C-alpha cells in the first residue's frame, strides 16, 4: 500500500457557520461570489452571505447551471479579468463549486486557450484562491481538487491542488430547503463515489474498507430516514458529512478504483440530459452484474458487512447485495434502468461513440473495461 494523502481544506461544520467566512478571507481581497440559479435567494443563504461579506469589496456572478458549461464559466473569467477579483466564493452544490474551480484556474491561465486545461489536461500553474459554502451534499467537490466541466456533449474532468478550496462551510440547516429529488440525487451521488473506491478487488486495506462501509451504511440509513423526517437536522448533518468524506481522498488512498459508472454516466448526461446522480443509479447495477466475476470478493464483503447478508450460497449472497442496492435506489425514487427514464437500446451506440471520442477505453480497476465491455454494461442497463 502506497499513497500520498493531503487535504488542506478547512471545514466549518454546523449551524451558523457562514459568518465565519470573514475569518478565512483576508480583508484586503476583492471577492466574487459565484452561484447558480438563485435558489440561495429563497433559502436565506444569500442574505447570510451579504451580511458575512459586508466589510469586503465584492461582486456576484450567477447562472452557473447544473453540469456547468464552459461558455458560462468563461463569462465569469472575463468579468474577473476586467474587475480584478482575487478571491472566489462558490455558493452552491457541486456544479457551482466545480465551475468556480475552473473559473479560478482559467482566470490565471497564461499558456493559451483555457479549454486546454480540460481537453489537453494542460497543467494549472496558477489559480485564484477560492472558498465555498455548500448547499447540496453530493459531489464532495467542497474538499477536493477535482472538477467536471461540460461543453456541448463533452463532460471533462481536471484536477489541481491549486483549486482545492481553502475552506468549506457545511451548514446542514441550508439543506432543509432541498427538494426530495435533490436530496435523493445527492445521496446517490455520494453513495456511488464510495462504491467506486470500494467495489473493486481486495488489497487488505482494512481501514479504507471499514471507512467506506461506514459511509455506505450511513448513507443507506440516513437516506431512508430523511424521507420520513426531512426536517431532522441530525439526519441532514450525517448525510452532509458523509458526502464530503466520500470524495475527499481518504477512502481512496492506496486502493484500486473503478470510475466506469461515473464515466459512462457522464455520457448519458451529456447526450440525454439525465441528472448526474440518476445516470449513476442507472449504470451502477449494470456494472455490478456485468463485472460480477472481477468484483466477486468485494461483492461478498459488501453483502456481508453493509447489508448483513448471511446466505450460505455465495451466488445468492451476491444476487441479494445487488438487489438490495437497487432496492435502496428505488426507495429514494431513483431510476435503476434506462427504461426508467424512457430510454432504451437506442442509446447504446451513441454513448459508445462518445466514450470512444473521450478516450474512455480502458476503464475500471483492471483497465479492461473497453468499448465491448461498455456495450454489455449498457445492454444490461436497458
Binding site for a copy of itself (CB under 8 A): 1-15, 17, 172, 204-207, 210-211, 213-215, 217-218, 221-222, 234, 237-238, 241-242, 245, 253-254
Phi, psi of 16 (to 5 degrees): 80, 15
Q: How far is the CB of 170 from a copy of itself (least distance, A)?
A: 10
222 vs 365 by CB, closer to a copy of itself: 222
Phi, psi of 81 (to 5 degrees): -65, -35
Grid coordinates given for 233: 437536522
114 vs 172 by CB, closer to a copy of itself: 172
Q: How far is the CB of 148 from a copy of itself (least distance, A)?
A: 24
In 3D space, the residue among 131, 135, 164 whose CA is nearest the CA of residue 147 turns out to be 164
**CB of 267 closer than 8 Å to CB of 355:** yes
Question: Within its chain, how far is the Cα of 133 from the centroid?
Answer: 15
151 vs 305 by CB, closer to a copy of itself: 305
Q: How far is the CB of 137 from a copy of itself (least distance, A)?
A: 12
Q: How far is the CB of 171 from a copy of itself (least distance, A)?
A: 10
Grid coordinates given for 87: 478571491
Q: How far is the CB of 249 from a copy of itself (least distance, A)?
A: 10
CA–CA distance, 145 with 8 (Å, rounded to integer): 10
CA–CA distance, 120 with 105 (Å, rounded to integer): 14
145 vs 238 by CB, closer to a copy of itself: 238
Q: How far is the CB of 250 from a copy of itself (least distance, A)?
A: 8
Grid coordinates given for 52: 458575512
**CB of 290 closer than 8 Å to CB of 376:** yes
In 3D space, the residue among 104, 150, 103, 162 whose CA is nearest the CA of residue 128 turns out to be 104
Phi, psi of 101 (to 5 degrees): -60, -45
Q: How far is the CB of 232 from a copy of itself (least distance, A)?
A: 9
Q: How far is the CB of 208 from a copy of itself (least distance, A)?
A: 8
148 vs 205 by CB, closer to a copy of itself: 205
199 vs 205 by CB, closer to a copy of itself: 205
Grid coordinates given for 140: 464532495
Sign of CA dihedral 249, 252, 257, 263: negative
169 vs 381 by CB, closer to a copy of itself: 169
In 3D space, the residue among 278, 323, 289 whose CA is nearest the CA of residue 303 turns out to be 323
130 vs 343 by CB, closer to a copy of itself: 130
Amino acid at each position: 500500500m502506497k499513497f500520498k494523502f493531503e487535504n488542506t481544506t478547512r471545514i466549518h461544520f454546523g449551524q451558523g457557520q457562514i459568518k465565519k467566512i470573514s475569518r478565512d478571507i483576508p480583508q484586503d481581497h476583492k471577492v466574487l461570489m459565484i452561484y447558480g440559479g438563485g435558489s440561495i435567494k429563497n433559502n436565506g443563504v444569500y442574505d447570510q452571505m451579504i451580511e458575512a461579506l459586508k466589510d469586503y469589496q465584492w461582486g456576484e456572478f450567477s447562472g452557473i447551471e447544473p453540469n456547468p458549461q464552459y461558455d458560462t464559466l468563461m463569462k465569469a473569467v472575463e468579468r474577473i479579468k476586467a474587475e480584478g477579483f482575487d478571491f472566489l466564493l462558490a455558493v452552491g452544490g457541486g456544479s457551482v463549486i466545480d465551475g468556480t474551480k475552473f473559473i479560478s484556474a482559467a482566470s490565471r491561465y497564461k499558456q493559451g486557450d483555457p479549454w486546454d486545461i480540460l481537453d489537453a489536461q494542460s497543467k494549472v500553474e496558477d489559480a485564484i484562491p477560492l472558498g465555498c459554502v455548500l448547499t447540496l451534499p453530493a459531489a464532495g467537490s467542497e474538499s477536493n481538487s477535482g472538477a467536471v466541466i461540460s461543453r456541448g456533449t463533452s463532460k471533462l474532468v481536471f484536477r489541481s491542488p491549486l483549486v482545492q478550496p481553502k475552506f468549506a462551510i457545511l451548514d446542514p440547516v441550508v439543506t432543509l430547503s432541498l427538494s426530495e429529488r435533490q436530496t435523493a440525487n445527492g445521496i446517490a451521488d455520494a453513495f456511488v463515489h464510495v462504491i467506486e473506491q470500494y467495489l473493486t478487488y481486495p488489497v487488505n486495506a482494512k481501514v479504507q474498507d471499514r471507512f467506506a462501509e461506514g459511509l455506505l451504511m450511513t448513507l443507506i440509513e440516513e437516506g431512508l430516514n430523511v424521507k420520513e423526517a426531512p426536517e431532522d437536522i441530525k439526519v441532514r448533518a450525517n448525510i452532509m458529512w458523509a458526502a464530503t468524506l466520500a470524495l475527499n481522498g481518504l477512502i481512496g488512498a492506496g486502493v484500486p478504483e473503478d470510475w466506469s459508472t461515473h464515466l459512462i454516466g457522464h455520457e448519458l448526461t451529456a447526450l440525454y440530459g439525465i441528472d448526474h446522480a440518476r445516470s449513476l443509479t442507472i449504470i451502477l447495477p449494470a456494472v455490478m452484474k456485468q463485472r460480477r466475476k472481477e468484483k466477486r470478493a468485494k461483492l461478498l464483503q459488501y453483502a456481508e458487512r453493509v447489508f448483513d447478508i448471511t446466505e450460505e450460497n455465495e451466488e445468492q449472497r451476491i444476487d441479494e447485495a445487488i438487489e438490495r442496492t437497487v432496492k435502496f435506489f428505488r426507495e429514494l425514487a431513483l431510476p435503476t434502468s434506462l427504461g426508467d427514464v424512457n430510454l432504451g437500446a437506442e442509446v447504446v451506440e451513441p454513448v459508445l461513440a462518445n466514450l470512444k471520442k473521450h478516450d474512455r477505453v480502458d476503464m475500471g480497476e483492471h483497465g479492461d473495461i473497453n468499448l465491448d465491455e461498455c456495450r454489455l454494461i449498457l445492454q444490461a442497463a436497458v
